[in-house]
Amino acid sequence: MPHLTRRRLLGTLSATGLTTPALPLFAQSYDAPSCKAQLSHGDWLIKTQFVARYANDSFIGYESQTTGEHRPTGLRFGLHQHDDDAEMKKLRDAGKSGGLHLPDHHYLELFTPDHQGDTPRRVRTYMTIVDPDSDQSASIVMRFTPMALCKNDYQDDAYAWQLARLTEGACVLKTHPERLPRLHPTNPSTQGWHPERETEMPDVLRTQHILMSAENRVQLRFGYRDEAAGKWTRLREIEIDTNDLYGAVNRAYDMVYDQVEASGNGDPATCRKDSDCFLTTACCAEMGRPDACTELTTLRRFRDGWLRAQPQGAALIAEYYRRAPAICAALARDPRGAARLRSLYWATILPCVAAIRLGANRLAFRLYCRMMRRLMRTYPEATT
């Protein structure tokens, strides 16, 4: 990718002849988290949220996302549903409509010298869920393959491993040899092993169906493939209470649905008051952009994704939330504040969004930081 600068970005945008905020660059579908709720049900913690779906800034409907965690074992399930049949089919086809996951710590004894010897090797595990009342059962098989160092050098940043995986497959960056697989007798770890699911999605969904439909309990059996003996070996079995689990999921769903109903005409923005970007929100509001516009959604994802994953990223976000409200208040008092917000929208917000969409996250970060520094100089009373 050629070196991207703010001037080059603005030149590119200017060359399109666009005169409104609704840039074709941003005219695509996206999702924004909306209302959410959680409840405890015995040993289970159920969380549900509605995700508002948009196309070209137009609200087109909700997708519900529910997760449940069995706190003693860490077993987790996921349920994604959509009221539109075509959208629901897309979720199923993409393998995102649901599934079960058992944390790796249940298998850690397989990643020790006692089990593997001196050299890390491939491990295959299984998890079988059984409803003893109906005799239904289904299994999920996972494969853990030890990774080697990447052959090529990659820039050491948050997306280096993605580039490495695309070009070489799963490997360990040369800058982090400490992430290679290790066999430790007392402190084993799956770090350095690449996990892959061997089971097809229809069978994964069967495990979830058994969990949700069991009236009282399920048995969870897990173990590994003993390649030398040519058989599957069980490690242990756990019994899990599922009494009224499906009812608890429905109650969490109803809690979120009630929030949507109370918002008035299903306004998805009502439930997201804790996600403000302050300055970005003020700029977009001045331009008449909705709370769920592409600019705000993109920058929130950038904040919660790339930026938070950077060293000191969480501290930078916290510092922003400490300073930004006072700067917004100073802008509101300034007779020229509205004009400044419009200028910031065109000179910083849109270029930042464009940079993020083009993958130039560092450029977006630099542009936003420069805007903050200039505002702090303009309104020193807001930085004390």
b/e 344-368 (16+ beta carbons within 10 angstroms → b): bbebbbbbbbbbbbeebbebbbebb
pLDDT at residue number 191: 92
Query: What does the alpha-carbon distance between residue 22 and residue 340 come to, in Å, rounded to a whole number?
Result: 20
Tokens matching residue 133: 């009342």
Query: What does the alpha-carbon distance between residue 191 and residue 183 come to, in Å, rounded to a whole number?
Result: 10
Report the first-to-last Cα separation within the chain, whole angstroms.
40
Query: What does the alpha-carbon distance between residue 79 and residue 44 come to, in Å, rounded to a whole number?
Result: 15
List pLDDT tens digits, range 82-138: 555 565 556 555 555 567 888 988 999 999 999 998 899 999 999 999 999 999 999
pLDDT at residue number 88: 54
Yes or no: say if 352 and 299 are a contact pair by the CB < 8 Å rule.
Answer: yes
CA 255 to chain centre: 23
Question: What is the Rg, in whole angstroms, of the alpha carbon atoms belonging to the chain?
Answer: 25
Q: What is the pTM of this model?
A: 0.62
Amino acid identity, position 143: R
Residues of the chain with pLDDT under 70: 1-34, 52-61, 80-98, 155-163, 262-277, 383-384
pLDDT at residue number 204: 87
Query: What does the alpha-carbon distance between residue 96 and residue 52 come to, in Å, rounded to a whole number?
Result: 16
List pLDDT tens digits, range 214-261: 989 999 999 999 998 999 999 999 999 999 998 998 898 888 877 777
Yes or no: say if 342 and 287 are a contact pair by the CB < 8 Å rule.
Answer: yes
H helices of the chain, where? 6-15, 85-93, 113-116, 160-168, 201-213, 245-262, 279-286, 294-302, 308-309, 313-333, 337-344, 350-357, 361-378
pLDDT at residue number 210: 92
Residue written as token pair 């995102």:
96
Yes or no: say if 242 and 217 are a contact pair by the CB < 8 Å rule.
Answer: yes
pLDDT at residue number 254: 86
Yes or no: say if 43 and 241 are a contact pair by the CB < 8 Å rule.
Answer: yes
